[in-house]
Each structure stands twice: as C-alpha cells, then as structure tokens.
Amino acid sequence: MLQRVNPGNKALADYRSIVRRELYEEIQELRLRLEGRRVLHVNATSFGGGVAEILYTLVPLTRDVGLDVEWGVMFGAEPFFNVTKGFHNALQGADYELSVEDRAIYEEYNRQSARALVEAGEEWDIIFVHDPQPLLMKHFSQGLSERTRWIWRCHIDSSTPNRAVLDYLSPYIKDYDAQVYTMREYTPPDLELPNLEIVPPAIDPLSPKNMALSADDASYIVSQFGVDTERPFLLQVSRFDPWKDPLGVIDVYRLVKEEIPEIQLVLVGSMAHDDPEGWEYWYKTTSYAAGDEDIFLFSNLTNVGAIEVNAFQSLADVVIQKSIREGFGLVVTEALWKARPVVASRVGGIPMQLEGGGGILIDTVPEAAAACVKLLRDPEFAYTMGRRGKEHVRANFLIPRLLRDDLRLFAKLLGV
C-alpha cells in the first residue's frame, strides 16, 4: 500500500463558533448522506507545501464527520521529483523540453504507486488525487472497483501552460470524474473540462499558525527577535524567491521611511537546506538591505516556525505581499484572518481575497508605499480594513467551507 500519513485528530465542533450556522448545518446534512463512505487522498509528500498543510486539517475533519478517510503518499525519488517539478513549472508557463526519458520516469512511478493501490485490495468510494505528480495513477489502476469515483485537484495556475506538457497530460486530466481548480482563470485556455469544479483553498483558523494569540503573547514572541514592539513594522512572509519580490518590499519600506522614520521591516521566509536558489536570493536580499538595522530577515532556520509566523502576522502594522506572480497566496489569507490591513499586488488569488475590503491592491512600489503611509497615519482606517478582511476570510476561506465543498462534490459523484 502507499505510505499512510497519520494526521492526528480534529473535531468539527471546535469550529462551530467560528463559522456561519448555515454552513455548519449543511455539513451536518451532508454527513448523513455520506456516513461510512471510504475516501483516499493521494499526493506526493506529507511535508511542506500548501497541499500537505491543507490535508493535515481536512483529513481529520472529514473523519470526524463520519467518513472513513485515509491519506496515502505515492512513491517518489529524486529523478521523479525532478521531472514533476519541471511539469509544475511548465504548467505555470516555463520552457520545458518534454523528453521520452522524462515520460518514462513519470509513468513508472505512477505505475508502481497504482499497483500498490490495487494490490492492497481495498474498496474506495472516492480517490482524491492532488496535483500532477500522481495524476496517472487512475490510468494505471485497472483492477480497482468500477464504482470508485476519481477526483483530480489542481492547485497550480495553469492558465498559460507549456503546450507539449499540457498536450501530454490532457487526456489523463479529462479522464477524471471531476477536475477541481482554485479559480476558473487557472484552467488551461482551450482544455475542455465538462466536470470542472471551482473550489478555492482555505486555512485552518485553529492551527498553531492561525489560532488566536493575545497581543501580549505576540509582542513577547516578536520582541525576542529584536524587533522594537514600541515602533511600527511592515511584514512580508514569503519564500526568498524573485516572484515574491523581497527587494521590491525593501524599496517600499525605504519610501515609507522617508515619511515615517521610526518604521521597521520584517521579512520572514522559509528555507530548505537543499534549495540553492533560496539561499542565493536570501544573500541577495541581505546585501540589498545593506546593514539597515531596522530591516530584519528571519527564516525557519533561525527558529521562526508556525507560532512565530503567527506572532509576526498578528502584530504587524501593515502586511505586504508584493508578489510579481502568485498562486492563491495563502499568506494573504493568514494575514487577513488576523485582522491586519494588507497591501498587495494585483496578481493570482489576491484580488479575490481583498474583495471584501481587507486591503489595498497596488501595481507599483510608489503605490505600495503610499498605501502603507496612509494606513500607518490613520489607525482607524487600518482597523476598519482589518475587520473587513477578517470577515471576508470567515465567510469564504476557512477550512469548514472547504470541507463542505468536498462533501458536496462526493455526494454529487456518488449520487446520494
């Protein structure tokens, strides 16, 4: 069998006071129709990335409402991940030379994973496959019950895909009983998807990264990193990556500092030990900061984990997201949930998240700086914006809504 992940326990009842009553009741109604149904989620990793983050909450909550849910990780090793990383970038529009060898590696790992699934001999009502890595498992799963319904969830913006990779993957994508994308704009332009479902992602409001922290606790944590909590600070939490534009954020901060000299800037980014690109960009950002003592750079390697990210997000005076390109932008959701005013680029899922009035959309560095200054000078305006953002997230981007959307789709596909 595939490697099973144990995601622990969660109870939907704990979320009851956080979400709208109708949503909670709809989940209760759906659970009656789906009780005991067997669901298998399949992805490529149990650690890192948005998909794993979501599954750690979604799997236990789906179990809590009475379904029999498992999470399996497919087989993978370096040659396979090199190919699928290439596919991922190609679906986002990067150049890619699709070779016979790449296809052979990709197919082989999918074939082996599918064989393990079939040989385990279990019956599944739903198999929920995430992203391109395990996409071909359906194709190679002959021998599994005909009754099983297959869902493919694409978390990637594939609106301008590399043609060769898309043409290769298309027949497999179409073969699924449902294809789920974050936004309609993310689907490939001329790919016919009759079973398309649009479901944005969500955050877990009770996870260590998003649970309520008191101002005192947040301040206590932030001050331990040397940031002066008596003075305002701007924050961006993002990988050190050109698409997240940390250098642009420093430019914004410098313009703000001309008007508000006491301002500080905190940049938090997670680093992988084996990501040379990340390190290169970290050093680039450090040297761009040029020894400015009011600019702070932190990462998971300097002990900034989920709770610390929570503290920085909870306390920031303005949260910036100056991405040049973005997927959904979960960090924006996280900041809005903490009622922080957001200044962010008009890319990816950000406009949809700021629709409720939780932030200011910008296209340039001077626009971003002007928006920050306005928010820093007018705390009442900033406060109102923060509250609006939080309510927008409560209504649209919390995990019970994602659970409801999944259950709806299961009920539809199973005809119950």
Instruction: List contacts with ligand UDP (CB under 6 A).
Output: 50, 209, 237-239, 268-270, 299-300, 309, 327-331, 334
* Residue 321 to residue 249: CA distance in whole angstroms: 8
Which whole-number Å values give the CA distances from 156 to 90, 133, 188, 196, in the listed order? Answer: 11, 12, 10, 15
The per-residue b/e assignment along 77-97, b for 16 or more CB within 10 angstroms, e otherwise, is eeebbebbebbbebbbeeebe
